Structure 1
Amino acid sequence: MEALQKRIAYRFRDPVLLRKALTHTTYAHEVSGCAHNQRLEFLGDAVLQLTVSHRLFLLYRNANEGELSKMRAFVVSEPSLAAAAKRISLGSYLRLGRGEEKCGGREKPSVLADGYEAVIGAIYLDGGFEAARDYVYRELDDEIQRAPEMKCAMDFKTRLQEKLQEQGRKVCYRLIGDEGPEHDKVFTVTAVVDGQDMASGKGRSKKCAEQNAAKAALEILNQPKKV
């Protein structure tokens, strides 16, 4: 805990918040009465979205809404957050269940990204919005600076939404189910266009599964029309 606080340059007034942020669901399931980090992850995701949106808005004054959305999607993507988590060696501080530990959970991008969001949520609760904002600005500055050149590299969901909007159509995503043990789940998500299932995707996280579903839907939409 002490070493991690030095790495993130933030000292918690309530260390329990940091401990909870580092606690994966698999650990909580094995230790009776132990709280996991999913609620903090939810909160941290919201803080991250707002903070990054504000930073991009100030930095790139000539960018339109669509461009800003693409840049934000890159900054808050699972690969970007996992990379940021690795820079502070977050994986070595996580509390994982035995099964997750054996399966290399400390290196899994989904586990690292979720833990990183949980830490942001914990900082927000402990020190307020300014503390969380300053942390995000400091730790994700490289991603924010690279966002203009990377904005179209990986966000299939945004590309699908824009393509459908041009046609006056809408898309949403529905979780079909998951398979595998708690520490190594694979999620399946369907892209639903105008109320009809179009394509499905799988992933180690719901976010990843949604991106893969969007990618599959784009491939269908981009197929040459039969004459």
Structure 2
Amino acid sequence: MAGDAERNQGRQGDGRSRHGRQNSSGRAGVETIVVTDSLRELSQKIGYEFKDASLLETAMRHSSWTAENEGFESNERLEFLGDSLIGFVVADIMYRRHPDFDEGKLTDLRKIVVNSNALSRVAQDLDLGSHVLLGRGEQAGGGRAKTSILANALEAVFGAVYLDSDTRRAYEVVTKLLSEAIDDALGRLGQLDAKSQLQELAARLDRALPEYRVRDEGPDHAKVFFAEVFIGEELMGSGSGKSKKSAEEQAAYAACSILQENPKPA
């Protein structure tokens, strides 16, 4: 049996021969699409059979791949659409499930599900990393395991499902694939106040106050923020998200767990 690396490279290497070029509408030409074993496998994992296979193809094209292969559309537009779809579905579910929650709590619940870390975990369960088409540099840099790439690919898949079907069917697919994250959201509600919790914990343990270091990647319309939190010179946690605040909250939540287990400086 071929190793994962060899299989992944094969999926990427034959990308041009089986990926339709854009037509005048910006969509890949359906007539050039061949449904490969990789696409069939991915459709089965998603639980949805595409009528227009070019949509799923496009959802797997990272911008680093299209930069090296002219005439092909990246997954960024589908990602934009899928992000909006996920936000709507999760908001609708939380609204119906928690009639006693105010707008603030509902927003917090949605943030727990709709963030890069949570979405990348779902993408990992689907093994999206082995299907994504990456440029040579991104692949060499471990792009198949990057949180932002996996989360964005999952959003693009949801956008593709929506365009291929309708709102009802897309709602069902999103709900099915995010069901565990949605069900766990209530128990993780305290995570969103993690920065305050971390500061109080550090003070109680006579440790230095937390210091956050944040960087961002990507174009202005699709930035991903990465945060690290230090106590003294010790890195205590890291996180990512589509806003600086979200990334810092993720990092603080991770740091709280580590600090509780190891209260004394390393």
Matches within 5 A, 1:113-132: 113-132=151-170
Q: Does the CA-based 8 Å contact 1:120-1:132 persist in structure 2?
A: yes
Encode CA deviations 1:4-54: one digit per residue, 9 max, x unaligned: 001111011100010001000000000011110001000100111001101
For structure 1, which runs of at least 5 residues remain unmatched after alignment? 158-176, 190-202, 217-227
| Contact 2:117 2:240 (8 Å CA) reproduced | no
Deviation for aligned residue 1:152 = 3.1
Aligned pair in 2 of structure 1 residues 65, 85: CA closer, same or farther (>3 Å)? same
- 1:18 equivalent to 2:53? Answer no
Task: Name 2:206's counterpart in structure 1.
Answer: none
Q: For residue 188 of structure 1, report the CA deviation from its aligned partner.
A: 8.7
Shift of 1:208: 5.3
Instruction: Assess, with a 3 A threshold, how the Cα gap between structure 1 residues 106 and 65 changes in structure 2: closer, same or farther.
Output: same
The verdict on how the C-alpha distance between 1:39 and 1:209 changes in structure 2, with shifts beyond 3 A counting, is same
- Root-mean-square deviation over aligned CA pairs: 3.0
Report the TM-score when normalising by structure 1.
0.71
The 8 Å contact of residues 73 and 151 in structure 1, kept in 2 or not, is answered as: no
Rate the CA distance shift 1:154–1:27 in 2: closer, same or farther, 3 A: farther
**Counterpart AA for 2:86:** L
The counterpart of 1:207, out of the listed 221, 234, 242, is 242
Aligned in 2, Cα 1:186/1:35: closer, same or farther, shift over 3 Å? same
Q: 1:213 to 1:89 in 2, by over 3 A?
A: closer
Q: Per-residue deviation at 1:74?
A: 0.3
Tell me which amino acid in the other structure corresponds to 2:55: L
Question: In 2 relative to 1, CA 142–153 (structure 1 residues): closer, same or farther, beyond 3 Å?
Answer: same
| Counterpart code for 2:80 | F
8 A Cα contact 2:55 2:164, kept in partner: yes
Specify which structure has the bigger relative contact order, considering alpha-carbon pairs within 8 angstroms and separated by 6 or more residues. 1
Contact 1:74–1:151 (8 Å) recurs in 2: yes
Mind listing any 5+ residue stretches in structure 2 that lack a counterpart?
Answer: 1-38, 196-214, 228-237, 252-266
Q: Aligned residue pairs: how many? A: 182
The alpha-carbon deviation at position 151 of structure 1 amounts to 2.2
Shift of 1:155: 6.9
> Counterparts in 2 of 1:144-183, with a 5 A limit?
144-154=182-192
Find the aligned partners of 1:2 and 1:125 in 2 and give their Cα distance: 18
In the alignment, structure 1 residue 65 sits paired with structure 2 residue 100? no
TM-score by length of 2: 0.61
2:144 and 2:150 in contact (8 A); partners too: yes
| Equivalent residues of 1:155, 1:211 under 8 A apart | no
Q: What letter matches 2:182 in structure 1?
A: I
Instruction: Note the C-alpha offset of 1:95.
Output: 0.5
SS of equivalent residue, structure 1 residue 152? helix
1:4 aligns with 2:39: no
1:126 deviates by 0.5
Show the counterpart of 2:121.
83
Distance 1:65 1:111, change over 3 A: same
Percent of paired sites with the same residue: 37
